[in-house]
Amino acid sequence: MVVTLDRPKANAIDAATSRALYDAFSMLRDDVSLRAAVLTGAGKRFFSAGWDLKSAEADEASGADHGPGGFAGLTELFGLGKPVIAAVNGAAYGGGVELMLAAHLAVAAETAVFAVPEARLGVLPDAGGLLRLPARLPRPVALELLLTGRTFSALEAQQ
C-alpha cells in the first residue's frame, strides 16, 4: 500500500489529515491482503513540514484531536504488525521527522533534509520525537539536534 501526503505547499498535517492517515494505517493493520505500506510526500520539496501551524493558528487548538493513532495517525498506533516504510523525498521538519521516526524503516533521497525545530518555538516534539530520535541516533547527536533545532542532511542522518 502506498500512502501519499498531498497537502500543498508543505504536506503539513492538520487534525483531519491525521485522522485520514489513521484510517489508512488501520486499513493496513486490518486488511490481510496488505503486507506493508510506503509513506511518502507528494512533490519533491517536502516529505512533511509536520503540524499544520496555519490551521492551528486559524482554528485548531494545540490540543486538537488527531485521532486514535495520535499525530499523523501513526505515532501512537502501537502493535501495527506490518511494516511501514517512510520514503522521505524532500524536507521533513518537526512532526514530519516524528512521523518518519514512527515508521519501521526510513529511506531518504540524497536531497532530503531534516530538522526538529520545536525547541526554537518553545515547545516539545511530543509525538514521539523525544524518545525515538535518541533510539535511532547516538544520544549526544540526538540531544544536539533536539536542543538546537538545526537542519541536518540525509548523508549526516545516514552516518
pLDDT per position as a tens digit, 49-63: 998 877 766 666 656
CATH number at residue 61: 3.90.226.10
Q: Which residues are catalytic?
A: 98, 118
User: In sequence order, what are the residues at sequence separation of 6 or more whose Cβ sits closer than 8 angstroms to the Cβ of residue 55?
Assistant: 12, 14, 15
Report, as an integer, the average pLDDT of 24-49. Answer: 95
Per the structure, the complete domain to which residue 70 belongs is given by 2-158
DSSP 21-74: HHHHHHHHHH-TT---EEEEESSSSEEE--B-HHHHHHT--TT----TT-GGGT
Q: What is the C-alpha to C-alpha distance for residues 148 and 134, in angstroms, rounded to an integer?
A: 14
Domain count, the chain: 1
**Res 107: pLDDT:** 97
